[in-house]
Amino acid sequence: MKREPVAGVQPEIFRWARKTVGLSVADVAQMLKRPPEEIEAWESGEDAPTYSQLEKLAYQIYKRPLAVFFLPSPPEEVMPQREFRTLPDADLQTLSRDTYLHIRRAHAYQIALKELFDSRNPVDRCIWQSLTLSPSKSVTEQASSIRDFLGITLEDQVAWKSDEVALKKWRQSIEDSGVFVFKSAFKQEDISGFCLMDEHLPVVYLNNSTSKTRQIFSLLHELAHLLIGMNGLSKFDTRYIDRLPQAEKKIEQFCNAIAAEVLIPGADFLQQVELFPAAIEHASEEQFSSLAARYGVSREAVLRRFLDQGRVSKAFYEDKAKFWTAQKTKSGGGSWYLNQGAYLSDRFAKEVVGRHYRHQITLEQAADFLGVKPKLFAGLEQRILQGAGS
């Protein structure tokens, strides 16, 4: 009977399912509208939920197949606390359920990539096999090597007419180097992105809720992580770096420095700022905006270069960055198909559609790979064939 407690679920499965989405007992109790003591009883084995409660737990709260709850023990799954060393422990403890689900989805994409490409990268020349970064070597020289590999000159970059074009170009060049770039809108807006290392099929996953310029910086930051062979999870507000242990702090500072030098080459930057006042605090908004537009980056990224050169104080940088962040407005939602097409790695999405066309995978399999319902596949397929957005 649906109103009777479900038998056969191991208590540790309940605890595992809750912890792998970063929820507390109190969180689950609130979502189920049940007393916390009842959830604790399920997790201790003293009681069990009804079938309808178990369905809600599985499908709505923990986002797991119902069958998982009848396994003899929890499946092996790496937790973010063990997987990402580039956030302080306190920040890792505050990751939202939505962020946990994005990390899980990125792992699912990586599994799908291995199945689609038989665990081999479809690109002949992969960037991480040719370039290995080191914090002990010159940032300028290593950033220049990345630019050369990606085939993006400063002249190309300056000619791009919008942040949207710039993001599309950087993303495409990185995908052409063997890295698969996915995006999604995070509810936890202070997370800028993360990456998952793999010997053959590494993934970068960006927060689409941030500005295009922020996504560009995050993309290069996460690429730097991949090129030192380490998973990374970063936040929009860089003050978290100061709370890291010394080794991890050095890595995050290095990845930021690489991203900044790739996007804003130091030699060109020095030439461009000759017309700025000696006291950068007196520079106009127009001067910051014009320089940011030249490189397709945010005003904050430009100001960060001045901070790194010791030309502004950290207090001024933080106050100005906070002021600019408060000015940003969110754009409308737009077309669902357009957004979903932009979220998916272009190479991954086209491989799924191509295999479906060649009758190598079913409609249901193709839809599952892309994370949509079968009835939505046709509309998304058209968008993918037209070319994904930024």
Phi, psi of 84, rounded to the nearest 5 degrees: -120, 120
Tokens coding 266: 């130091």
Phi, psi of 183, rounded to the nearest 5 degrees: -140, 160
Quick: pLDDT tens for 127-155: 999 999 999 999 999 999 999 999 999 99
User: How much is the pLDDT for 26?
Assistant: 96
Q: What confidence tier does 19 reach under pLDDT thresholds 50, 70, 90?
A: very high
**Biggest CA pair distance of the chain:** 78
* The model's pTM: 0.90
CATH topology of domain 11-77: 434 Repressor (Amino-terminal Domain) (1.10.260)
User: How much is the pLDDT for 81?
Assistant: 82
User: How much is the pLDDT for 16?
Assistant: 95
Let me know: does 175 contact 181? Beta carbons within 8 Å: yes
d(CA 385, CA 388): 8
42 alpha-carbon distance from chain centroid: 34
CB atoms within 10 A of CB 41: 16
Quick: pLDDT tens for 252-290: 999 999 999 999 999 999 999 998 999 999 999 999 999
Secondary structure class of 131 (helix, strand, coil): coil
Q: Which residues are 232's β-sheet partners?
A: 195
